Amino acid sequence: MAGHALHIGLNHVDPAQYDGWDGELQGCLNDAASMKALAEAAGFSTSTLIDGEATSVGVVSALASLAAQAAPGDLCLVSYSGHGGQVDDTDGDEDEGQDETWVLFDRQLLDDELRVAWSQFPAGVRILVISDSCHSGTVVRDDVDTRISRGMPDEVCSRDNELRRSTYRTVQAQLAGRGEVEVASSVLLISGCQDDEVSFDGAGNGAFTQSLLEVWAESAFQGDYPAFHAAIVANMTTQQTPNLNSDLVTDPAFLTQRPFTV
């Protein structure tokens, strides 16, 4: 068994692609570096995509490469730190009428696209997704208490949906029927907040990533994934509730394992 990791972090997006908005954040590159260090200490081979490298094509290609490397029994860790967004759902697979997204350098990446990416991994592969972003409860910055949220501002989100409507609808049309594509691997998501919440940024790490690192305590943590999630929630100091989503876990034994154990 082997461990493979991909760490994605964006402190900025391309303002030319978002009608002048650069999405400035402070802690996302630090989050990617911290998760990379955690993964390497746990025995993973790692790669990173930051800022201009983290385009929609770059991330989709990196996930496909990760899938090609992975063999049954392997653990693949994918961490994302950046803005989260929402795009109007056109295929009816979202109860709230919105696809959750990762806000990448050039455009938003839809949760349907991520599901297709997970479907490329062989059966028996474990995938752990750590998403420190807003609206991330099921994605498999506003001022509050001087902190900045990692949510695309409403006006920017609306404008992006308007300007890139044809792009997102084309992607959704291409994925029509594939949003429910079979995922043979086990995908476990631990995210910074619920779908209707925001995740907060920080000068060092994001609030969620900071709590995760404190609970992990440089590998001192000894519990399973539900216990890890519960400890992160208990350790949070901001008004956000990290989520544990196991809807795509096909092997229940995955949940009983110690986090980041290859």
For residue 146, is it left (φ>0), alpha (ψ between -120 and 50) or beta?
left
Q: Catalytic residue among 76, 134, 157, 193, which?
A: 134
Could you read off the pLDDT of 83-136 as tens digits, one per residue? 999 898 765 555 556 788 999 999 999 999 999 999 999 999 999 999 999 866
pLDDT of 64: 98
Distance (Å, rounded) from C-alpha 99 to C-alpha 80?
17
Instruction: Give residue for tokens 């995740």.
Output: 199
Question: Encoding tokens for residue 13?
Answer: 């997006």
Tell me which CATH code domain 3-256 carries: 3.40.50.1460
Single pTM value for the model: 0.92
Q: What is the pLDDT of residue 26?
A: 94
Q: What letter does residue 105 receive in the DSSP assignment?
A: S
Rounded to whole angstroms, the Cα distance separating 245 from 9 reads: 21
Give the model's pLDDT for residue 178: 53
Q: Over the stretch 167-181, which tens digit does the pLDDT of each residue have?
A: 999 888 888 755 568
Residue extents of the structural domains in the chain: 3-256
pLDDT in tens, 190-236: 999 988 888 999 889 999 999 999 999 999 999 999 999 999 999 99
Place of tokens 């297709």: 116
Of these residues, 4, 7, 83, 229, which one is catalytic?
83
- Which amino acid makes up residue 239? Q
Q: Indicate if 134 belongs to the active site.
A: yes
